[in-house]
Homo-oligomer: A and B are copies of this chain.
Amino acid sequence: MPLPIPGSQVRGSKSGKPIMALLDLLGRTWSLGVIWHLSQGPATFRQLQQRCEQISPSLLNTRLQELKILQLIETQSDGYALTDQGRSLFDIIAPLGQWSKDWAKHLPAGSES
């Protein structure tokens, strides 16, 4: 699947509505995870691998390139970091952290941590 660039055809929208491009992007494995972990601060490739337990290096690299082209992250001297745009996206989804804890309390195998 090609990059979900707003304006071009993406999953869920032939016209490439920006929101659909974004949902396509965020709907890929580890996209949200990478952004989430980078919000803790810049990280080198291998540091990110550790923050994201279980991610394979090939996929990590793929995601990093995608997010870089789409200008959510950039490379700095100290590794990968969120761009201003990336941070503004994170600011929106940050409340998911608390939400997920509340959610966990009401679920079948309801445990939390």
Q: Hey, which bits of chain A sit against chain B, CB under 8 A?
A: 5-8, 11-23, 26-33, 36, 52-55, 69-71, 85, 88-89, 92-93, 95-97, 99-101, 103-104, 106-113
Contact = CB atoms under 8 A, between A and B. Distances in A.
Copies in the complex: 2
Given A96-B92, A106-B71, A12 B27 contact: no
A52 to B, nearest CB: 6
Contacts of A104: 6-7, 18, 21
A97 B101 CA distance: 24
Contacts of A13: 53
Contacts of A55: 12
A54 B11 CA distance: 7
